[in-house]
Amino acid sequence: MRTSSRSLGAVVMLLALSNGFHEVVADGADHWAFQPLRGEVPRRVRDAAWPKSDMDRFILSKLEENTLTPSKDASRSTLIRRVTFDLIGVPPSPAEIEAFRSDSASDDAAFAKVVDRLLQSPRFGERWGRHWLDAVRYADSVGKSWNAPFTYAWRYRDYVIDSFNTDKPFDRFVTEQLAGDLLPARSVAEEREQRIATGFLALGSISLQEGSREQSIMDRVDDQIDVTTRAFLGLTVSCARCHDHKVDPISMRDYYALAGIFHSTRLWTGQGTHTREFGSIDYVDGDLLLRMPDVVTGQTTPLSSGVHSMSDFQDEWRSGRRDIRYVTDPNRAMGAADGEIRDCEIRLKGKPYDRDVAPPRGDVRIVGLPELPAIPASASGRLQLARWIASSDNPLTARVFVNRVWSHLFGRGIVPLVDEFGSISDEPPHRELLDHLARRFIAVDWSVKKLIREIVLSRTYRLDSVVERARLPVTGRDENADGQECPPYLFGHATVRRLEWEALRDSLLLASGRLTFDRPSGIQVAGTGGKARGASTYSLLRIDAPYRTVYLPVLRSLLPDEYSTFDFPDPHQILGQREVTTVAPQALFFMNSEFVTECARGAAEWLLRDESEETSRIRLAYQRLLGREPSDDDVADAVALLHDLPPKTRWTAFVQALMCSAEFRYVR
């Protein structure tokens, strides 16, 4: 059984309490994460020739402090495979590998050319956009008892991908998702984009069959508070819904001061019922109209059937129709807008009808953090909240995102719990490095691409995963003579990492020649949800669809088995870093899956089009699938295997054997 990210946080808190940590942190300024960003310079290092940047000096100083040395640099073949997967999520082609290996420029210059090419690729946004979608509980259906489709969730998904590709400043990215509808726009296209961004608030997993009107409202508000504070700030503010936070300086009053902001917000999700309004939060018949039609340029696709709300789905199902055509109205999306403006009364013990006095919207008093800007009486406060979070004076926002980036590039964060920067997260050994990167991130105008570029060009990122015995420069003794190894949190060597499900599936399709880099168009999920006879929610794109995995719909409680086998996150949950397991079904998938066999067959057909001799095809297969040249022993073993197999299937079996190898699933 899997443990959800919220459940994991609760377990960690309970363990902390059981071990004697019984007091709420009274002063947030005492906790390292709430303190202002430090501007410390790295200490002097003995091996002054090793670092390539201040970031490297921070790393090396800690290693030297612990009488450790970093591993050697990775080979060019290893490095280009690592950085290509990290930045765009698919392997490098044999031609790209050879171009980098044969580049006569220095290692620094040659690698910089590779990194800059990858950062400009449209594939970058697909890779890094998926990381963000994990952290904001993205899904294409609502989940729970009535698992209705989110017909237009894909617009938000594409907005995220495009934002990473265009290197939208992260502070702007934050603001648009919380309050894009409240920002000025220079064009109709910009206004539409900003409204689509607010789909961030509407994607929660909420029961559509909740019998209590007030419970439904407060559950929706709680979802918005949880995703906002955890994704951007790394704080579990939702823990204060029923009582003051047990370990962080967050009170119920703070929670309901935030709740007032979202209580004054109207959501457009497309999960309409014929009862149109539940308080100030609407389950509307249809989705957000991005503009009235007289000011929209271009033609609107005729709506030939009801596919834009759950009410329409129900009507079609009751009438016995099953041949619903799925079309896209270019003027519809999920999103948010200001609703009836009102503060939210404190709900005693979280009970929706047991109320106390309402604190003013936005009157959050977390000691150590700046105050929210004043909220006008006529505004929800979402814009003020967005600007507070996106401010360079807020010490959490840059720290949390930089730590997320680091965790994706190194396999673990500088702060191990990437979604939890509260009091259960001890000050990390590399606190100075984290603050250095956060300050750099702000200094380059919150550019995600510049942040990633600086990290991957470092000497630290380029280290090999093999830890060799090395002579210490001071004592002359063997580094590991006393049995001590470099702990992973000091980042003295690269970590061998298993690829995520998306990278594995995309690599299989790419090897087979079947992967397209086009986006699927139009609605990609359909159905009615619910438990009624004949009701269903389903993806219109199957697992063998030729698109990148990020474009396949994510249906809550209806994920294909392959997703859970390779640790795809539960889309009900906010999860900034995935679990990594090694279990038998992963190997069985590569051996027995019809999808893998078809991909192997496609890759074999591609190899057979090459009229070179057998050994040349073997070498090409190794380059294409594993990103390296085979050894002489590898070639000899492959020749022996091919000669033992039936002629019609020998190349397919050989390719599938390479796909089954650990080398295919891991990056070093």
How far from chain centre, in Å, is Cα 408?
9
Residue-wise pLDDT for 597-624, tens only, equals 999 999 999 999 988 899 999 999 999 9
Distance between CA 464 and CA 447 in Å, rounded? 28
Give the pLDDT confidence score for residue 536 in this predicted structure. Answer: 77
| Mean residue pLDDT across the chain | 87
Type of residue found at 332: R
0.95 cut: is pTM over it?
A: no
Distance between CA 570 and CA 551 in Å, rounded? 17
Please state whether beta strands 525-527 and 332-333 pair in parallel, antiparallel, or not at all (unpaired): unpaired
Angle between helices 107-119 and 94-101 (to 10 degrees): 150
Provide CB contacts within 8 A for 466, sequence distance 6+: 71, 72, 493
Residue-wise pLDDT for 47-64, tens only, equals 999 999 999 999 999 999
The first and second tokens of residue 355, run together, are 């109320």
**Least confident interval from 104-108, 123-127, 306-310, 344-348:** 306-310
Helix/strand/coil (H/E/C) assignment for every residue in 183-232? CCCCCHHHHHHHHHHHHHHHCCCCCCCCCCHHHHHHHHHHHHHHHHHHHH
CA dihedral 217, 277, 160, 553 (to 10 degrees): 90
Give the mean model confidence (pLDDT) for residues 99-114: 98
* Closest by CA position to 397, among listed 577, 232, 200: 232
Strand partners, 461: none
Containing 115, the helix (H) or strand (E) segment is helix 107-119
| DSSP summary character for residue 462 | T
**How many other C-beta atoms are found inside a 10 Å radius of the C-beta of residue 290?**
22
**How many other C-beta atoms are found inside a 10 Å radius of the C-beta of residue 376?**
12
Task: Tell me which of 341 and 27 has the higher pLDDT.
Answer: 341
Task: Tell me which of 310 and 105 has the higher pLDDT.
Answer: 105
Give the pLDDT confidence score for residue 467 in this predicted structure. Answer: 81
Longest Cα–Cα distance in the chain: 83
Give the pLDDT confidence score for residue 19 in this predicted structure. Answer: 42
Rg over alpha carbons for the chain, rounded to the nearest Å, is 26
Distance between CA 442 and CA 440 in Å, rounded? 5
How far from chain centre, in Å, is Cα 469?
36
Q: Among the CATH numbers 3.40.720, 1.10.3130, 1.10.10, 2.40.50, which is that of 501-534+578-667?
A: 1.10.3130
Give the pLDDT confidence score for residue 648 in this predicted structure. Answer: 86
Domain boundaries, the chain: 124-293+300-389, 501-534+578-667
**How many other C-beta atoms are found inside a 10 Å radius of the C-beta of residue 393?**
11
Are 95 and 89 spatial neighbours (Cβ–Cβ below 8 Å)? no
What are the start-end ranges of the E strands in 251-410? 265-268, 277-278, 281-282, 288-289, 332-333, 335-338
Give the mean model confidence (pLDDT) for residues 278-283: 30
Provide CB contacts within 8 A for 234, sequence distance 6+: 33, 396, 399, 400, 403, 415, 418, 419, 420, 421, 422
Distance between CA 252 and CA 346 in Å, rounded? 7
Phi, psi of 256 (to 5 degrees): -75, -20
**pLDDT at residue 110 tops 80:** yes
Are 394 and 388 spatial neighbours (Cβ–Cβ below 8 Å)? yes
The first and second tokens of residue 416, run together, are 């191990």
Give the pLDDT confidence score for residue 243 in this predicted structure. Answer: 94
Give the pLDDT confidence score for residue 529 in this predicted structure. Answer: 63
Residue-wise pLDDT for 473-521, tens only, equals 545 555 444 445 789 999 999 999 999 999 999 999 999 999 999 999 8
Residue-wise pLDDT for 452-464, tens only, equals 999 999 999 999 9
Percent of the chain with pLDDT over 90: 73
**pLDDT at residue 18 tops 50:** no
Distance between CA 456 and CA 451 in Å, rounded? 9
Give the pLDDT confidence score for residue 30 in this predicted structure. Answer: 86
Give the pLDDT confidence score for residue 23 in this predicted structure. Answer: 44
Residue 179 to residues 136, 157, 661: CA-CA distances in angstroms? 16, 17, 47
Distance between CA 506 and CA 271 in Å, rounded? 32
